[in-house]
Amino acid sequence: MKVFQHVQDIGDLRVALSEAQEVKRDRYQWQHLGKNKTALLIFFNNSLRTRLSTQKAAMNLGMNVIVLDVNQGAWKLETERGVVMDGDKSEHLLEAIPVMASYCDVIGVRSFARFESREDDYEEKILNQFIRYSGRPVFFMESATVHPLQAFADLITIEENKTKARPKVVMSWAPHPKALPQAVPNSFAEWMLAADVDFVITHPEGYELDPQFVGNARVEYDQMKAFEGADFVYAKNWSCPGVTRPEDYGKVLDDYHTMMDWCVSARQMAVTNDAHFMHCLPVRRNMIVTDDVIEGPRSLVIPEAAYREISAQVVLKRILETL
Ligand code: AN0
Ligand code: CP
């Protein structure tokens, strides 16, 4: 595998899920694969889970790991070509990428949506430069539009906890005080549509996700109706994707105080099929989900985060196998 970005990059999901099972059974059986191989993890944004789980996965495979927080200690990077660099940015991405690549075999990059231009974000301007100029396999650790390591861990979580062949999975928008990217919901939708689940998305009008990720997934604007009979509830906030009104891209459309009935609570969970609650974390309690639901017996947020180690290990293993 040279690029891990979309669900298709992992191939057959059944095979990927059984490989995840195998990793879970004994995660240290491929130490030879990573011997003398270096993974470079580059963070343009904060992270707890991705940082730790990916580093752990690489170590499980016997790899060496270098973690770089670009905004803490490295030179501030210019990303636009043609700019007269007389501002606060000392180095250009076009030199930094091949230099960083020369010290490693595999590159993971986290670079969130910047919300400056929908076009730049949705064209994956930053990650595509890594793919183009590094000459190394590149895996996405949440880019402007996708978070595939999360979606893969979410799929593993559902697979491990489902009690019927085709569970009903509901992804619900929930309120948040700040504008958040669409990467998590985009990838979750993309992976759920490829998996064997009955998938429903619920959100207020104006938050329609990009069709390249949601295809013709069922959208139900009535949250309570969407939750009926759900086996898994996946909560997440996202800002306006700008599908119908490009000028609203990256905006929080309404004051969150007026949207608090979208916060997932016992009221919505009561109409589900005793659904499991999921969230990628970090989560703001009593904005996205109430204390009682996230702490309740059906909450999967901790095992879901733990599966990030497994999803990252399957991805790194696949990459190492093709180096
Ligand atoms: C990020 C997001 O919503 O994309 C990362 C989630 C994994 N969340 C925040 O910035 C709070
Ligand atoms: N879920 C997730 O990617 O968490 P971090 O932002 O902490 O890495």
Taking only the tens place, the pLDDT of each residue in 207-250 is 999 999 999 999 999 999 999 999 999 999 999 999 999 999 99
Dihedral through CA 277, CA 300, CA 312, CA 152, nearest 10? Answer: -30
Measuring from atom 5 of ligand 1, which residue has the nearest CA?
Answer: 282
For the segment 15-64, what is each residue's pLDDT rounded down to a tens digit? 999 999 999 999 999 999 999 999 999 999 999 999 999 999 999 999 99
pLDDT classification of 118: cutoffs 50, 70, 90: very high
Q: Which residues contact 157 (CB under 8 A, 6 or more apart)?
A: 278, 300, 303, 304, 307
Query: Quick one: pLDDT at residue 23?
Result: 98
Query: Quick one: pLDDT at residue 122?
Result: 98
Q: Measure the CA–CA gap between 93 and 226, rounded to whole angstroms.
A: 44
Query: Quick one: pLDDT at residue 18?
Result: 98
**Which ligand places an atom closest to the C-alpha of 145?**
1
pLDDT classification of 278: cutoffs 50, 70, 90: very high
Q: What is residue 275's DSSP assignment?
A: P
Q: By C-alpha distance, which of 127, 100, 101 is closest to 113?
A: 127
How far, in Å, is the centroid of ligand 2 from the Cα of 41? 14
Query: Quick one: pLDDT at residue 290?
Result: 98
Q: Measure the CA–CA gap between 106 and 314, rounded to whole angstroms.
A: 14
Dihedral through CA 138, CA 142, CA 145, CA 148, nearest 10? Answer: 70
Per cent of the chain over pLDDT 70 is: 100
Query: Quick one: pLDDT at residue 247?
Result: 97
Q: What is the mean pLDDT of the chain?
A: 98
Query: Quick one: pLDDT at residue 280?
Result: 98
Q: Measure the CA–CA gap between 291 and 85, rounded to whole angstroms.
A: 48
Query: Quick one: pLDDT at residue 206?
Result: 97
Query: Quick one: pLDDT at residue 70?
Result: 95
8 A C-beta contact, residue 133 and residue 97: yes
Q: Measure the CA–CA gap between 64 and 35, rounded to whole angstroms.
A: 8
Please report the atom of ligand 1 found closest to the CA of residue 282.
Answer: 11
Q: Measure the CA–CA gap between 29 and 31, rounded to whole angstroms.
A: 6
How far, in Å, is the centroid of ligand 1 from the Cα of 26? 30
Query: Beta 198-202 vs 218-219: how paired, if at all?
Result: parallel
For the segment 298-322, what is each residue's pLDDT rounded down to a tens digit? 999 999 999 999 999 999 999 999 9
For the segment 50-62, what is each residue's pLDDT rounded down to a tens digit? 999 999 999 999 9
Q: Is the CB of 149 under 6 A from ligand 1?
A: no
Beta strands in the chain (DSSP E): 3-4, 38-43, 64-69, 77-78, 91-92, 106-110, 138-140, 168-173, 198-202, 218-219, 232-236, 276-278
**First vs last C-alpha separation in the chain:** 8
Q: Find out whether the peptide bond into 282 is cis, omega within 30 degrees of 0.
A: yes
How far, in Å, is the centroid of ligand 2 from the Cα of 280? 7
Query: Quick one: pLDDT at residue 200?
Result: 98
Bridge partners, 184 (sequence order): none
Q: Measure the CA–CA gap between 308 and 317, rounded to whole angstroms.
A: 14
Query: Quick one: pLDDT at residue 284?
Result: 98
For the segment 168-210, what is each residue's pLDDT rounded down to a tens digit? 999 999 999 999 999 999 999 999 999 999 999 999 999 999 9
Please report the atom of ligand 1 found closest to the CA of residue 112.
Answer: 4
Half-sphere exposure at residue 244, Cβ-oriented, CA atoms within 13 angstroms: 7
Query: Quick one: pLDDT at residue 260?
Result: 98
